[in-house]
Chains A and B, each alone.
Chain A
Amino acid sequence: MTRGVTPSQTIGPFFHRALLHEGWNDLAARGAAGERVAIEGRVLDGDGAPVTDAMIEVWQANVAGRYDRPEDLQENKPLDPNFHGFGRTATGPDGSFRLRTVKPGPVPGSGDAPQAPHINVSIFARGLLKRLVTRIYFPAEPLNETDPLLTALPTDRRATLIARVADAGAAERVLHFEIVLQGDNETVFLDV
């Protein structure tokens, strides 16, 4: 017998005390291997106004391109005991958010095509009856040219998934990733 799936409902505006925890916005805090990257961004609505009550979650592979789950059977790549790949934060009064992590390695996609390094993102907010899903890709990454998802997108929308270099002079790399929910430059969202 099969059971029907429970429907999604909005996170609403009152989730912060339940869902936000100290340190969950820094995936690299425990000495993970790999290049540190800060990701700063904003969430904007269809008027270009900041979305001040969004929750952002990320899930990614480690520096070797392996996910910290038994379902990832790539035994030729090491796990990192100091990196688990999950993070969570929320936007502030100006719609901004900040995460710190390491750059993931490439993971395989359908067929033999390697996927370019990417971070999987969920966006929850009041007014979103189910989460939005997107991906953060890295700038100047050669594998972007052959990534199965990026290459399937119209050129003008592809750029919405690639983070920009925000502060080239910083000690740790800082990237900017804007999430536009609606309108011109609307971010590409994924149905997973």
Chain B
Amino acid sequence: MSTLPGYRRTAEGVDPPYDHGAYTSTHKRAPRHSPIRIAHTLSEITGPRLGAELVSATDADLTHFAGGEALGERIVVTGRVLDEDERPVSNALVEIWQANSAGRYAHDVDQHDAPLDPHFSGVGRVATGADGVYRFATIKPAAYPWKNHFNAWRPQHIHFSLFGPGFATRLITQMYFPGDPLLKIDPIYLSVPDPAARERLVCAFDIEATVPERALGYRFDIVLRGRGATPLERDLGGDAR
């Protein structure tokens, strides 16, 4: 029996540590023991595959909701979901959520004193095409205060949730906007140790993605872990392909 190899280990400095002192919520939630590294088995190589069957035509357009137009600056966000070898991740579900143009989430827990927009849900989903491309239209989210420390503000961001091919490639992340002055002081953005990796969380303005008379375009590619270069050692006890 043969099987696909596992996934590559992410380079040091790309993913944040669990214990990141500047982000207060990590203090009681970060494990004290280091997670135990395990070799990839079928449990990690395989993973849920959710795609276009979950997405309806309107899910990729957040600019109107409940019979009206959302307030704020319309934008288009587009890019490709790829692996490290630039292989597209096709027909894959991308789930997004964000604050509105006043910096408020349509969520019971968000008590920030900024107006809700009855015509903005802040929730969307799309599936990638065969080439790994996704695209959605939304409203540019605003910065908002949070209680991490005195005068703490989150930079403008959109949350992304993605499934790659395996359980090991699952990713939840946040996309930021170029030139945001809050990036220099945001504990969550700065939790990524490697500055080059951190910059991969910032989208780029793209005139090609910009819709004339309608919306500025931003490009954001998402790169998931690639397949290991060598088959797993004696995986499944057989001659690996």
A residues adjacent to B (C-beta < 8 A): 1-19, 45-47, 49, 51, 53, 57, 59, 61, 67-69, 71-74, 84-86, 107-112, 115, 118, 120, 122, 124-133, 135, 149, 152-153, 157, 181-183, 186-192
How many A-B contacts if CB must be within 8 Å? 247
In the bound assembly, the distance between CA atoms of A67 and B37 in angstroms comes to 22
- Which residues of B sit under 8 angstroms from A86, Cβ to Cβ? 48, 50
Which chain B residue lies CB-closest to A7? Answer: B192
Which chain A residue lies CB-closest to B86? Answer: A3
In the bound assembly, the distance between CA atoms of A46 and B153 in angstroms comes to 26
In the bound assembly, the distance between CA atoms of A153 and B105 in angstroms comes to 42
Contacting residue for B171 out of A6, A47, A85, A192, CB 8 A = A6
Which of B66-74, B209-217, B219-227 lies on the face that meets chain A? B219-227
Question: Nearest 9 CB-CB pairs, A to B?
Answer: A127-B25, A86-B48, A18-B97, A129-B16, A112-B237, A127-B29, A69-B46, A191-B35, A67-B46
- Which residues of A sit under 8 angstroms from B106, Cβ to Cβ? 17
A122 touches B159 (CB 8 A): no
- Which residues of A sit under 8 angstroms from B96, Cβ to Cβ? 18
B123 touches A5 (CB 8 A): no
Contacting residue for A45 out of B29, B172, B232, CB 8 A = B29
In the bound assembly, the distance between CA atoms of A157 and B34 in angstroms comes to 13
A108 touches B237 (CB 8 A): yes
Contacting residue for B170 out of A5, A122, A183, CB 8 A = A122
Q: Check A153/B223 contact, CB under 8 A, given A7-B173, A69-B49, A73-B3.
A: no
- Which residues of B sit under 8 angstroms from A46, Cβ to Cβ? 27-29, 32
In the bound assembly, the distance between CA atoms of A74 and B48 in angstroms comes to 17
In the bound assembly, the distance between CA atoms of A9 and B82 in angstroms comes to 18
With both chains docked as a complex, state the minimum distance between the C-beta of B164 and any C-beta of chain A, in angstroms.
10
Contacting residue for A129 out of B26, B107, B165, B235, CB 8 A = B26
B174 on the interface (CB 8 Å rule)? yes
B84 on the interface (CB 8 Å rule)? yes
A181 touches B29 (CB 8 A): yes
22 A-B pairs within 8 Å (CB atoms) are namely A2-B84, A5-B223, A6-B171, A6-B222, A7-B16, A8-B173, A9-B16, A9-B174, A14-B97, A15-B161, A18-B125, A46-B27, A59-B43, A61-B43, A73-B2, A107-B41, A110-B234, A122-B170, A126-B29, A128-B26, A130-B18, A192-B167
In the bound assembly, the distance between CA atoms of A51 and B30 in angstroms comes to 12
- Which residues of B sit under 8 angstroms from A157, Cβ to Cβ? 33
A3 touches B84 (CB 8 A): yes
In the bound assembly, the distance between CA atoms of A162 and B18 in angstroms comes to 24
